[in-house]
Amino acid sequence: QLPQAIALEEESLKIRKELYTENPSVWAEDYTISLNNLANSYLKSKQFKKSFRYFEEYFKLYDFSQQEDITRFIYSYVKWYQAGMHLNDDKLLQNISSHQQRIEKIYQKILGDTYEATVSEIVELYNDLGKSDDPFDREKYDIVRKLFRRI
């Protein structure tokens, strides 16, 4: 069923991209959500190159400064990083890291004194993945600990 879901998401993205191109201010949110959804689906099917590409576009376009909830950033970022890891290209991971630094600065301004505690709470939500029987889930746990545990 995942291939059929991906086909439908591809079609949806195509339509939303046209709408976004015609009127970005109205369609930006829907278009970026479609990018994120498709990237997630490709990651689930272990099509890392496609997943990476859609996450990359999502992170270029999504306006995190308008989103107070840092959960969306961390959740998507960990998956983007995971896709990049499987492409075995250190330059890609360096590029991803620059996005992390840029977006974390945005959230440090938005969340102020609560930033560190908020991120720590989200990181703790990944603890169950560390106990998962699925190596792919455990990998996400390792990534979030590596990237955000310092906080």
Contact indicator for 49, 101 with CB cutoff of 8 Å: no
Percent of residues, the chain, with pLDDT higher than 90? 81
Q: What is the pTM of this model?
A: 0.91
Q: What is the C-alpha separation between 17 and 7, in angstroms, rounded?
A: 15
**pLDDT of 65-94, one tens digit each?**
888 889 999 999 999 999 999 999 989 888
Closest CA to 80 of 103, 102, 99: 99
Q: Which region among 21-25, 44-48, 103-107 has the lowest average model confidence (pLDDT)? A: 103-107
